[in-house]
Amino acid sequence: MAYNFPNSSIATPVTVPNGGTGVATLTNHGVLLGQGNSAITATAAGTAGQVLQSGGGLANPGYSTATYPSTATAAGTILIADGTNWVASTATYPSTAGTSGNVLTSNGTNFVSSPASAGPLGFTSASVTLTSAQIKALHGTPIQIVAAQGAGKVIVPVALWISKFIYGGTNVFVAAAGQAIKIYYGTSTAIATTTSNAVLVSSTSTYNTASPSAEQTIITNLENIAVNAFNDVATEITGNAANDNSIKITMLYYVVLL
Lowest mean pLDDT among 112-116, 186-190, 210-214: 112-116
- Report field, pTM of the whole predicted structure over 0.85: no
Asked whether residue 76 carries a pLDDT value surpassing 50, the answer given is yes
Asked whether residue 203 carries a pLDDT value surpassing 90, the answer given is yes
> How many Cβ atoms are within 10 Å of 171's Cβ, its own excluded?
16
Give mean pLDDT, residues 171-183.
94
- Binned at pLDDT 50, 70 and 90, residue 120 comes out as very low
**In sequence order, what E strands does the chain have?**
32-33, 41-42, 51-53, 62-64, 77-81, 86-90, 103-106, 111-114, 124-130, 143-146, 153-166, 173-174, 181-185, 189-195, 206-210, 227-230, 238-239, 246-257
For position 215, what pLDDT does the model report? 58
Give mean pLDDT, residues 212-236.
83
C-alpha dihedral sign at 78, 84, 85, 87:
negative
**From CA 47, how far away is CA 192, in angstroms rounded?**
72
84 and 68 in contact (C-beta within 8 Å)? no
For position 44, what pLDDT does the model report? 81
Compare 45 and 248 and report the one with higher pLDDT: 248
**From CA 193, how far away is CA 229, in angstroms rounded?**
9
Neighbouring residues of 183: CB distance < 8 A, sequence distance ≥ 6:
145, 157, 161, 190, 191, 192, 193, 194, 210, 227, 228, 229, 230, 249, 251
List the beta bridge partners of residue 114.
103
Asked whether residue 4 carries a pLDDT value surpassing 60, the answer given is no
For position 217, what pLDDT does the model report? 65
**Domain-wise residue ranges, the chain:** 118-257
The most confident of 61-65, 69-73, 221-225, 226-230, by mean pLDDT: 226-230
The most confident of 107-116, 195-204, 211-220, by mean pLDDT: 195-204
Asked whether residue 231 carries a pLDDT value surpassing 90, the answer given is yes
- The proportion of the chain whose per-residue pLDDT surpasses 90, expressed as a percent, equals 33
Asked whether residue 94 carries a pLDDT value surpassing 70, the answer given is no
Asked whether residue 229 carries a pLDDT value surpassing 60, the answer given is yes
For position 80, what pLDDT does the model report? 78
Asked whether residue 211 carries a pLDDT value surpassing 60, the answer given is yes
Asked whether residue 246 carries a pLDDT value surpassing 90, the answer given is yes
Burial-class residue 70 by CB neighbours within 10 Å (0-12, 13-18, 19+). Answer: exposed
Asked whether residue 167 carries a pLDDT value surpassing 90, the answer given is yes
Q: Give the CATH fold of the 118-257 domain.
A: Jelly Rolls (2.60.120)
Residue-wise pLDDT tens digits, 45-61 = 888 878 888 877 788 88
What integer best gives the mean pLDDT of the chain?
Answer: 81
Compare 111 and 173 and report the one with higher pLDDT: 173
Fill in the amino acid letter for 98.
G
Distance of CA 119 to the CA centre of its chain: 19
Fill in the amino acid letter for 189.
T
